[in-house]
């Protein structure tokens, strides 16, 4: 048994995940009644979601307390890359919607039950309220805006007041939590098996038949952003071909994000990947959770395409200036989607209000979003998660190129 365990771990994690994926598909098709396998996926996602807020809180405190002043300068570059990428994603969605206009079949679609924010001010207000939420509640509720805010404040306080021994102890605590994350990630193949089984055994082909064109436009735009726009942007910034780096991000970040459908759950996975790439822990311990909250290319694309599809369905003519304004609104709204219950879909009515679309119709569009969400959300999360690592690493690799240091890809 011990030899089998050792041989299993001699296989790379990516290969083991691929095996779990294939087995999950086969079992889901041949034995759709083996519902007990669902618990494997639930346990894996639950473990990742459970450890992620604590990991972010401890790592950010340790990083800020021990960080040099150069980290702040690099963080500004990462933030700029995140925002620019989201703006480009929204712009791509506008262009795609103009080139391939689609309509939505709304008959019989139930409106979403959740309340959507009515104005952009409400979205910003939600963000600010989450920013100062009780730190214990922020960790318990996985409110990463709040977790980041309090961790940075506490880290700054420790940086100026704590003795070296205290800072060292905090660093050791962050190492311990990181080790727990490594243990959890080792169960990724089994977790992916359970998640794939659940998807294959419970979801039929009806969503392709009813909403095929809308799904094709959404997925096509998400893939265009992931495979064309983002790597070209990273390549121009680094000064090197970033496609090998993108492939690493897809293999080791997008795959798990696709099936967990949770940026929060993928934070530990992304941090482990950054460690593997040899990035500065002080930088990625802040930039990765920050990316999970504001690097929302997929959300910007979803908000824009669904809104323009609703406008097209109602015969509303959208001018170029209105489309540009929509892309900017989608960018700001997407960055705030993590602080709104329901994520990006519940921000669609806000965007629809720009064109005078009634809230009753807009909420039906949200209902369509939930119907196709099993596919749309998977691709959206995969894009967002890979982008977090791609741009966080790009900011550092640019410095490596200037110093003549070899890149790990």
- What CA–CA distances, in Å, run from 370 to 13, 92, 96, 265? 32, 22, 21, 20
Q: What whole-number distance in Å separates Cα of residue 324 and Cα of residue 262?
A: 29
For residue 209, how many other CB atoms are within 10 A of its CB? 8
pLDDT digits (tens, 9 = 90+) for 65-115: 776 655 666 788 888 999 899 899 999 999 999 999 888 876 544 544 555
Number of domains in the chain: 1
Does residue 9 form part of some domain?
yes
Residues of the chain where predicted confidence (pLDDT) is lower than 70: 1-2, 5-6, 8-9, 14, 67-73, 106-124, 126-127, 199, 202-210, 333, 335-344
* Domain span at 370: 2-403
One-character DSSP codes across 272-283:
HHHHHTT--HHH
pLDDT of residue 341: 41
Does residue 408 form part of some domain?
no
Does residue 105 form part of some domain?
yes
Whether residue 145 contacts residue 127, with contact meaning beta carbons closer than 8 Å, is answered with: yes
Q: Which helix (H) or strand (E) holds 377?
A: helix 373-403
Structure tokens belonging to residue 263: 């940026």
CA 154 to chain centre: 26
The pTM of the whole model exceeds 0.85: no
pLDDT of residue 391: 95
Please, what sign has the CA dihedral across residues 363, 367, 370, 372?
negative
pLDDT of residue 202: 66
Does residue 234 form part of some domain?
yes
Backbone angles phi, psi at 70, to 5 degrees: -65, -25
Does residue 274 form part of some domain?
yes
Does residue 213 form part of some domain?
yes
pLDDT of residue 118: 52
Helix axes 164-185, 144-161, angle to 10 degrees: 150
Does residue 409 form part of some domain?
no
Could you tell me the CATH number of the domain that includes residue 376? 1.10.3860.10
């Amino acid at each position: 048994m011990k030899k089998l365990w050792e041989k299993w771990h001699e296989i790379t994690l990516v290969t083991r995940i691929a095996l779990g994926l294939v087995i999950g598909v086969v079992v889901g098709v041949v034995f759709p009644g083996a519902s007990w396998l669902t618990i494997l996926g639930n346990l894996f996602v639950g473990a990742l979601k459970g450890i992620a807020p604590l990991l972010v809180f401890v790592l950010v405190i340790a990083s800020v307390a021990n960080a040099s002043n150069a980290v702040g300068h690099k963080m500004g570059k990462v933030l700029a890359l995140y925002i620019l990428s989201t703006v480009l994603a929204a712009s791509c969605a506008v262009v795609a919607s103009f080139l391939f206009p689609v309509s939505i079949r709304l008959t019989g679609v139930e409106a979403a039950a959740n309340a959507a924010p009515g104005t952009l001010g409400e979205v910003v207000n939600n963000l600010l309220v989450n920013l100062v939420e009780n730190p214990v509640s922020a960790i318990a509720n996985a409110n990463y805006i709040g977790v980041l805010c309090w961790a940075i404040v506490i880290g700054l306080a420790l940086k100026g007041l704590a003795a070296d021994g205290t800072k060292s102890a905090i660093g050791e605590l962050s190492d311990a939590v990181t080790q727990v994350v490594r243990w959890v990630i080792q169960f990724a193949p089994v977790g992916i098996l359970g998640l794939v089984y659940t998807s294959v055994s419970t979801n039929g082909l009806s969503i392709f038949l009813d909403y095929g064109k809308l799904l094709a436009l959404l997925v096509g735009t998400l893939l265009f952003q992931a495979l064309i726009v983002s790597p070209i942007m990273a390549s121009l910034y680094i000064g090197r071909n970033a496609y090998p780096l993108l492939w690493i991000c897809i293999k080791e970040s997008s795959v798990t994000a696709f099936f967990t459908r949770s940026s929060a759950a993928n934070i530990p996975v992304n941090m482990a990947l950054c460690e593997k790439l040899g990035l500065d822990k002080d930088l990625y311990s802040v930039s990765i959770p920050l990316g999970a909250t504001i690097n929302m290319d997929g959300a910007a694309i979803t908000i824009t395409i669904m809104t323009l599809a609703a406008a097209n369905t109602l015969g509303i003519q959208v001018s170029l200036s209105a489309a540009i304004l929509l892309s900017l609104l989608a960018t700001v709204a997407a960055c705030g989607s993590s602080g709104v219950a329901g994520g990006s879909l519940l921000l669609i009515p806000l965007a629809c209000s720009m064109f005078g679309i009634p809230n009753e119709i807009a909420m039906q569009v949200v209902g369509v979003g939930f119907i196709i969400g099993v596919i749309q959300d998977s691709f959206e999360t995969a894009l967002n998660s890979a982008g977090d690592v791609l741009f966080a690493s790009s900011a550092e690799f640019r410095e490596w190129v200037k110093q003549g240091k070899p890149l790990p890809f």
